[in-house]
Amino acid sequence: EAGVAQSPRYKIIEKRQSVAFWCNPISGHATLYWYQQILGQGPKLLIQFQNNGVVDDSQLPKDRFSAERLKGVDSTLKIQPAKLEDSAVYLCASSRGIPIYGYTFGSGTRLTVV
Amino acid sequence: AQTVTQSQPEMSVQEAETVTLSCTYDTSESDYYLFWYKQPPSRQMILVIRQEAYKQQNATENRFSVNFQKAAKSFSLKISDSQLGDAAMYFCAYRSGTSGTYKYIFGTGTRLKVLA
């Protein structure tokens, strides 16, 4: 099966600009996750979708971050306006349901805010 | 709140030798899962091995095995016959078995270098 697709692979923006990341999960996977991985740290969950509903967004900075999952398939994560501390790798992952065997990650988008 | 600690920022191992990566965690839950993920320079997190907390038997996957000490809240990864392709960041992760969210709590990672 095809993996989790993410784009773009790299993005450089100036602070206060906006940016969007796209994720296409594995076909049939109902659960989709966005993680933020700051350099030197482990990934941290930003938001979890079950189909097109939000299950957990407790660590999403909602004043500047937003995410949507239209029709329960693709997802977009947006940052507006970006801050220097948003520089990180943004990883998308998906799982069929309860991820007893873990979930499948994409290769992420590396964001640099200058 | 649950926490995961990896106290070794970097480890080195000679090719064909064995290396052990350490991980400790803190939780008050009895139902949970533990994972080791590998992250090569491609950035994709790849599942190495998983362990259910209710199982006493340590998980093994080919050259990879864990030492799960539930009372000590320790979950170390042993890599036998190390290969050059094992070089990567390794992350230990915890997932609650009771929470409605399936989020991982990750440690800060251990960079493994394999010397030829």
% of chain B surpassing 90 pLDDT: 85
Q: What pLDDT score does B101 carry?
A: 79
3-class state of residue A12 by DSSP: strand
Residues 6 or more apart in contact with residue A103 via CB below 8 angstroms: A31, A33, A93, A94, A95, B102
Find, in chain B, the residue whose alpha carbon is nearest to that of A5.
B44
Tell me the pLDDT band of B99, cut-offs 50, 70 and 90.
confident
pLDDT at A1 over 70: no
What is chain B's percent helix, strand, coil content, to nearest 5?
5, 55, 45
Which has the higher per-residue pLDDT, A101 or B25?
Answer: B25
Q: What pLDDT score does B27 carry?
A: 93
Best of B5, B25, B35, B45 to mutate (most A CBs within 10 Å, chain A):
B45
**Contact residues on chain B for A89, CB-CB shorter than 8 A:** 43
- Is omega for the bond preceding A43 within 30 degrees of 0, making it cis? no
pLDDT at A4 over 70: yes
pLDDT at B4 over 90: yes
Beta-carbon separation of B44 and A107 below 8 A = yes
Which has the higher per-residue pLDDT, A1 or A29?
Answer: A29
% of chain B surpassing 70 pLDDT: 100
Beta-carbon separation of A33 and B102 below 8 A = yes
Q: What pLDDT score does B42 carry?
A: 86
**Contact residues on chain B for A46, CB-CB shorter than 8 A:** none
Structure confidence by residue, pLDDT tens digits, A27-73 = 999 999 999 999 989 999 999 999 889 999 999 999 999 999 988 89
CA distances, A40 to each of A37, B41, B72, B105, B110 (Å): 8, 14, 26, 15, 10
Q: What pLDDT score does A102 carry?
A: 84
Q: Average per-residue pLDDT in chain B?
A: 94
Out of A101, A106, A110, closest to residue B44 by CB: A106
Structure confidence by residue, pLDDT tens digits, B41-85 = 889 999 999 999 999 899 999 999 999 999 999 999 999 999 999
